[in-house]
Structure 1
Amino acid sequence: MNEEDKIIDELIPKVLIDYRNLQVLQHLKKANVDYGKSIMLNTKIPLEEVLNILDYLEKLGLIERVHGASLKNTEAKFKLSNEVHKHHTYYTLTRLGDHLLRKLEDNLIEAYVNMVRNDSFALQILGLAEKLNADHAETYAKLTKKTIEEVNNKIEELMRMGLMEENKAKIIKFRERKSKPKKETRTHHKYYGLSRLGELVVRELKKRKIIIV
């Protein structure tokens, strides 16, 4: 393993700790060069958060500012036509950022497995999320014997990583929830389950017997 590969391996968890970091990097790969407002419109991430992410990724050395008073319109593929002559701070991937993305294209699930394999609490929550399909924090707390606060913090962490998501339906259909107590059939809670990415990661964790069924 060369020095750059070692650096990339160290940076991957710092990127995947928040899935939006990956979204911004992937967008810049497609756009070649882009600026905050355009990234916001294409990723649906609020502008203030986009700017924070750009600052974070720049500090990691994965993106860099494109200097020059203005850019040729052809260089910024997603530039809004009515903003062609406006001056923005543009960003593009660095060589390191491009290499990191290429590595994740082939090893994304592996990278997530490595991030959670030694976190027993995360493994508990992910395993339960697969069994329950969708449930609220109180159920996870009862089954893990943890406090609501501990469970909420861990679920938020896993949601930031892109492994879990909130089920937006106000009332979960009975067949979609495997542990629902009868009295709670129509109670309104926030329900949390695995994202599609989370399902793939849990499948790999089970395959490797890191999560035991």
Structure 2
Amino acid sequence: MKPTYKAHPWHGISAGEKAPEIVNVFVEIVPSDTIKYEVDKESGYLKVDRPQKFSNIIPALYGFIPKTYCDESIKELAVQSGATDVTEGDHDPLDICVLSSHHIHSGNLLMDAIPIGGFKMIDKGEADDKIIAVMVGDQSYGHVKDISELPEAEISRLKHYFLTYKNMPYEKASCRIDDIYGAEHAKKVITASMSDYEKKYGK
């Protein structure tokens, strides 16, 4: 028998045949996690990034889109949108949150998701976009086509998480959200990150 190998979740899986309209998502953490996991870039295995020291728990499934990378194209999009202090992308795969009404017990899995918008987040001069998506076929969220269709409370909950999840008590926030954008711009961000990936890791 020929040996079989597990595909690297960042480099060995595509962003999706229908990307950016429908994307593959590798889920790293779920709302019930009290530890923040992330993929080890070298091995592809999930590793412990840090325990969640405070009560800030991710309000949606969280991970990244395979074969994406945030570099010059992502930076240029942020600058074109008015973020004049951005100097670079964050040099990571593109982050994505997936809304679902289903209770998924753990990460380290793949799913299909439809991008509906995102946050233009700037973290210490780096463009660090967060794409918001809905799980394909979800009974509660599957019909949503744009972030403008979500209740304001849902958007505020996601926004609050990203503005505070790196903070230590009494420290000044290190990041900000300059804009909440809809599905069309989210697709531009995804396409730009796919282009950055090809430039960095392509042929």
TM-score relative to the length of structure 2? 0.24
Higher-Rg member (1/2): 1
Higher helix share goes to which structure? 1
Higher strand share goes to which structure? 2
